[in-house]
A and B are shown apart, each in its own frame.
Chain A
Amino acid sequence: MKYLIFMNTILHFLLSFVFVDIIFGNAKNYILPILLFSVIVDLDHIPYLLKVKKDLIKKRFGAESRSIFHELVGLFVFSLIFCISFFFLPLNLIRIISFCLVIHISIDFLFGTTRPFYPFSNKKIFLGLFSKRFIYLMDLFLTLILLIFVIGYV
């Protein structure tokens, strides 16, 4: 059986929210920036969805569904933006949004198939920390647990 290997967008937000709350202690006050910057890189799935349309089940969310913004080049572009924003925005906000974005990319790198040097190389990487079946189940299970937790907390 093949599994859809990707951490869903809701889980990215939920994990970022929980991590920010543990680290910075006031995630409730930053819920909108957390939501925005924990899912912003996933917007590149939209052109892919429009492209594959009905073939999504066959083609799945593989590394091809991710644009440069999911990889090292994107991380560099976003980091540059954060470095410039440091002079205009409060430090805590910059720390939180940069953390959310890096956590998104790190989770995709840990559990999904990525092409870190895209567009310079198409070499695909899958770390294999856990089996694909386990990742699929963990994705569903964690989303449900954290969703209940975050709704109860907020």
Chain B
Amino acid sequence: MFKSKNIIKPKRTFLGIIIRYFIDNLTKKFPLPKINPNKVSGLSVIFSITFVLTFGYSKIISFLFLFLVIFCDFLDGAISKRYYKKNIEGYIVDVTSDRISEGIIFSFFFFPWFYLFTLNIFLTIWSFLNKKHIILPLRQIFIIYFGFFVL
């Protein structure tokens, strides 16, 4: 077992670094609130629950919640980058809330999303153990699918 003090945050792949570079440049001038990024990650899980709860009643409202899920995911990374030193705790909270959020959404839209979600959990654990961050951006793909085929 790893000792908590010695855990190193997994590094992004070349493609991940490029995407992060563009996002960081994009958000440089945006005013961001100085709040705990872990709470923002928690919010994305809550929005995922509200997304599936509202899906049967209004697809437009559920789409807005799905957008908020992805926005919170983007926001927690941006806040922690600007105000807090990125550490392993932030990484663990971020990836765990991402997987739980995916689990909630994709248990509802089961096939084929849940299979990809299962693969993503495996990749998350693999990334943590091998210090190389490789994850499928499933919710980002899903929102495009949702916008085109479900709405």
Interchain CB contact under 8 A, B1 and A75: no
Interface size class of B (residues with CB under 8 A): 35 or more
Of residues 95 through 113 on chain B, the ones whose CB sits less than 8 Å from some CB of chain A are 95-97, 99-100, 103-104, 107-108, 110-111
Q: Choose from A83, A122, A123, A129 the contact partner of B118 (Cβ within 8 Å).
A: A83
Known: A99-B104, A117-B128. A83 touches B115 (CB 8 A): yes
Interchain CB contact under 8 A, A72 and B99: yes
A125 sits at the interface (CB 8 A): yes
Bound CA–CA A105/B117 (angstroms): 15
Most buried by A among B88, B97, B100, B114: B100
Bound CA–CA A116/B95 (angstroms): 9
Most buried by B among A103, A119, A123: A123
Interchain nearest-CB distance for A29 vs B (Å): 16
A127 sits at the interface (CB 8 A): yes
Interface of chain B, helix or strand or loop or mixed? Answer: helix
Q: Choose from A73, A103, A114 the contact partner of B125 (Cβ within 8 Å).
A: A73
Interchain CB contact under 8 A, A79 and B114: yes
Interface size class of A (residues with CB under 8 A): 35 or more
Q: What residues on B are CB-neighbors of A22 within 8 Å?
A: 53, 56
Interchain CB contact under 8 A, B92 and A117: yes
Q: Choose from B7, B39, B125 the contact partner of A127 (Cβ within 8 Å).
A: B39
Interchain nearest-CB distance for B113 vs A (Å): 11
Q: Choose from A72, A73, A101, A123 the contact partner of B89 (Cβ within 8 Å).
A: A123
| Between-chain CB contacts (< 8 Å), 14 pairs | A22-B53, A23-B55, A25-B56, A75-B100, A76-B118, A102-B100, A105-B100, A117-B125, A120-B1, A120-B129, A121-B4, A123-B7, A127-B41, A128-B38
User: Which residues of A line the B interface, CB within 8 A?
Assistant: 19, 22-23, 25, 72-73, 75-76, 79-80, 82-83, 86, 91, 94-95, 98-99, 101-103, 105-106, 109-110, 114, 116-117, 119-123, 125, 127-129
10 A-B pairs with the lowest CB-CB distances in the bound complex, closest first: A102-B103, A98-B107, A79-B118, A116-B96, A99-B107, A76-B121, A127-B42, A106-B100, A123-B4, A129-B42
